[in-house]
Structure 1
Amino acid sequence: MTRLADTEPAIRTAWLMACDQVEREMAGVTAVRLELPAEDLQVRLYAAAAAAALRVISEDIGAALLGGADPREFTDAHERLAHAISNATAGAVGDPIIT
């Protein structure tokens, strides 16, 4: 889907709508971590940054895999994502919770 979204406007729209839903969910998670309301502007900004990081990492890894990359190159994908989110939020969101 992410690869086709580069050339197919309808698929891009669906992909971005899914990313918007992720952002809304991230606002709830971020609000809990920061002990602020989900509607707080800073919470929403951090959620948007985290969701964008997730989108970019997903698109990058998806493109690489579809381009023939070895899936074993991405065993650290969760660490890449955590690092990207930390960078995007200046560390405010905190470390990932791994269960």
Structure 2
Amino acid sequence: MSRRDFSKAVKRAAAARADGHCEACTARLAYGQYHYDHVLPDWLGGEPELENCQVLCITCHRLKTADMDVPRIAKTKRTSDQAISIRKPRQIRGWRKFNGEAVRAASRRD
């Protein structure tokens, strides 16, 4: 699924609503120092509409992405994988490589 960006009309309306301030921390936005962010991430079904658009300073956008969006998306992927029985490959313990061949690790008896 490709990312859907906001249209110019939506960006204009969101910028007018924000009135030159970050909508998270209310800091004054400098020219070019802000991002248009999906409230509900696009990957989770957030539509590119005005109700789902917020104007954030770069710092707030990075924090929101790292602390909220990425974990929510990862959890959604894990849950959907679990629902269709996709699991991580099992790792065999006690095996190691010896001259390019897998051999069972010998137990030590002293």
TM-score by length of 1: 0.33
Higher relative contact order (CA 8 A, sep 6+): 1
* Larger-gyration structure (1/2): 2
Richer in strand (by share)? 2
TM-score by length of 2: 0.30
